[in-house]
């Protein structure tokens, strides 16, 4: 009996795999980019399209509480990221939500002119900050800081510290509690991007005294491609939080159709246009896979899966073929990153063998671990296939050198 079989038998989350619709003969190691499909999502999509929309038409806004979806789904996400009810709302995209929060945070600290972030932050976060600064004037700036030593680089002119908790390339994880405390000592507001955190491990926004957070739902939350994002605004900030995209759904009484904008007195003021009901209903169903599950168990299994992957890599003599680009276990999220000059081609050859991972420029083979549906047997099989590809130099074949539009 292999050690993988034993570990899978001991896995307290093993039953969760049955909640997903997974293709046969495939090992999915890219849940950090797009989560797998929960079976409940199929049923939810059919119900909202055929019955709620098809039969009940516009009455569904009340009959099926479509109007409450952003708050209801937001609170479900809040429970997974350590936020009590009324602080998370589901809406728009992560980029749009970043713009809202940055705008509001800058306004809350008008004497400060700097947004601090890391050079290797996910590019869209930096792009959105640059776009905002182009509207604010030349006195505002972005300061790039070293993610390995955030606290020592903070100063009194920083209005907002915008960080992604888990680096999308390396998997390095920031300590939200420690970094937030260091920022608050300097009077700095914190904005956390939880794209690679929510649903992957335990996050404690309220305990950390975080100010703001945004995140997507199509990765570890399994909401589907392009599923709506979320915004967290700490309750203590909601009264004076003013974001500029003042759409009608963020109004205190949207169906009064007032000529003047009066924002809702809660996190709901982040709402803009009409919510995408179909996508949000599917996301609502997807979140059910986390029911009655402690995020600490998910985090623990993620650590074990990663350790098992590294051990199997070592056993196959592959540890010297790849340079581990991720930090130590205590300092990383739910992924491993390896640098290799042929990382893209190796990834394509691996996919061709039924093991789906992904590549990040310039030379990173990225392996994601979604504990709810990954088995230790999957890891064992994946590394076996990787060893064959590397040892036989299969990746040198011409078809694996062709770069796709999406990598």
What are the residue numbers of the active site?
122, 193, 218-219, 366
Q: Which residues face 356 on adjacent strands?
A: 28
Contact present, 205 and 213 (Cβ < 8 Å): yes
Strands 114-118 and 158-164: parallel
d(CA 41, CA 281): 8
Q: How buried is 354 (Cβ within 10 angstroms: 0-12 exposed, 13-18 middle, 19+ buried)?
A: middle
Sign (positive/negative) of CA torsion 116, 118, 124, 127? Answer: positive
158-164 β-sheet, strand order = 88-90, 230-233, 212-215, 189-193, 158-164, 114-118, 141-145
d(CA 191, CA 98): 8
d(CA 92, CA 274): 10
d(CA 345, CA 365): 10
Q: What are phi and psi of 308, to 5 degrees?
A: -65, -40
Q: Which residues face 367 on adjacent strands?
A: 336
Q: Using DSSP, how many helices (H) and how many strands (E) does the chain show?
A: 11, 15
Q: What are phi and psi of 388, to 5 degrees?
A: -65, -40
d(CA 160, CA 186): 11
Question: Longest Cα pair distance anywhere in the chain, in angstroms?
Answer: 71
Contact present, 272 and 64 (Cβ < 8 Å): no
d(CA 127, CA 41): 32
């Amino acid at each position: 009996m292999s050690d993988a079989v034993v570990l899978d038998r001991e896995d307290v989350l093993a039953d969760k795999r049955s909640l997903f619709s997974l293709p046969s003969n495939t090992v999915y190691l890219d849940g950090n980019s797009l989560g797998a499909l929960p079976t409940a999502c199929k049923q939810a999509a059919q119900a909202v399209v055929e019955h709620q929309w098809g039969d009940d038409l516009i009455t569904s806004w009340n009959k099926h509480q479509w109007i409450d979806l952003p708050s209801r789904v937001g609170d479900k996400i809040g429970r997974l990221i350590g936020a009590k009810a009324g602080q998370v709302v589901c809406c728009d995209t992560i980029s749009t939500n970043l713009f809202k929060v940055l705008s509001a945070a800058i306004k809350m600290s008008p004497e400060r002119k700097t947004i601090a972030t890391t050079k290797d932050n996910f590019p869209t976060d930096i792009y959105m900050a640059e776009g905002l600064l182009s509207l604010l004037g030349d006195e505002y700036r972005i300061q790039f800081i070293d993610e390995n030593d955030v606290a020592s680089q903070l100063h009194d002119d920083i209005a907002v510290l915008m960080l992604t908790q888990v680096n999308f390339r390396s998997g390095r994880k920031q300590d939200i509690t420690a970094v937030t405390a260091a920022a608050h000592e300097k009077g700095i507001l914190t904005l956390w991007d939880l794209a690679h955190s929510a649903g992957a491990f335990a996050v404690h926004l309220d305990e950390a005294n975080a100010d703001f957070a945004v995140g997507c739902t199509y990765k570890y939350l399994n909401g589907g491609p392009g599923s709506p994002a979320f915004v967290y605004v700490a309750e203590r900030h909601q009264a004076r939080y003013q974001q500029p995209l003042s759409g009608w759904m963020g109004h205190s009484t949207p169906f009064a159709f007032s000529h003047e904008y009066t924002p809702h007195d809660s996190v709901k003021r982040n709402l803009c246009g009409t919510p995408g009901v179909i996508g949000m209903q599917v996301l609502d169903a997807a979140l059910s896979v986390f029911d009655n599950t402690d995020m600490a168990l998910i985090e623990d299994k993620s650590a074990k899966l990663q350790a098992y992957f590294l051990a199997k890599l070592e056993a196959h003599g592959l540890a010297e073929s790849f340079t581990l680009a991720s930090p130590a276990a205590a300092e990383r999220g739910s992924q491993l990153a390896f640098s290799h000059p042929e990382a893209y081609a190796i990834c394509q050859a691996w996919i061709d063998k039924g093991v789906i991972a992904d590549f990040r420029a310039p030379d990173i083979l990225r392996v994601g671990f979604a504990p709810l549906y990954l088995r230790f047997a999957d890891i064992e099989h994946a590394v076996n296939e990787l060893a064959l590809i590397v040892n036989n130099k299969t990746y040198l074949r011409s078809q694996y050198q062709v770069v796709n539009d999406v990598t």
